[in-house]
A and B are shown apart, each in its own frame.
Chain A
Amino acid sequence: AQTVTQSQPEMSVQEAETVTLSCTYDTSESDYYLFWYKQPPSRQMILVIRQEAYKQQNATENRFSVNFQKAAKSFSLKISDSQLGDAAMYFCAYRSPEGAQKLVFGQGTRLTINP
């Protein structure tokens, strides 16, 4: 079974600075999908960014980018120019192509933005 590990329960960063959240996963599959979701206090899980394992190019969405290291099974999220609205729980998630839409989540990282 696949597992996802987020080793940083909490992180904090000054507004406008850059922060990187770590995620590692364990799988024997060669093809899969990785996601970062954020969950603000409003509870709704919001997709931040996604990466297909077969793509070597790292995904980027505006201020959010990933560093995908397939051999190391690492999938970190970099947030540039941090904003107060970025404060949330961030979850890394794995999806197997064989598992329909099932997501396997990490334990989450709580990100605090200091003004």
Chain B
Amino acid sequence: DGGITQSPKYLFRKEGQNVTLSCEQNLNHDAMYWYRQDPGQGLRLIYYSQIVNDFQKGDIAEGYSVSREKKESFPLTVTSAQKNPTAFYLCASSIPRELHNEQFFGPGTRLTVL
């Protein structure tokens, strides 16, 4: 089945540690995205990538880093510079400039900083 997978589903980290969230897609989509969602809020864009080896900052990129070495993979690293990292993280992919510009989302990773 085609889709987007994120791992792990739940992640705990100690304050001051870096942590990497995985996102893999087998939809053959060029574009991938990372969002953060806080309780009762909408999604906010962290980073996005429209093609391999290229990515752009979203609205809240500070304290995060990404890489896009393969079309299928877009890992997100939450660094110790992110002051309030506890949140629900969602990865998505899409076909750029496709008719509906529909983004397909993964199941999410819930990160808790202890």
Partners in one complex: no
Binding site for B on A (CB under 8 A): none
Binding site for A on B (CB under 8 A): none
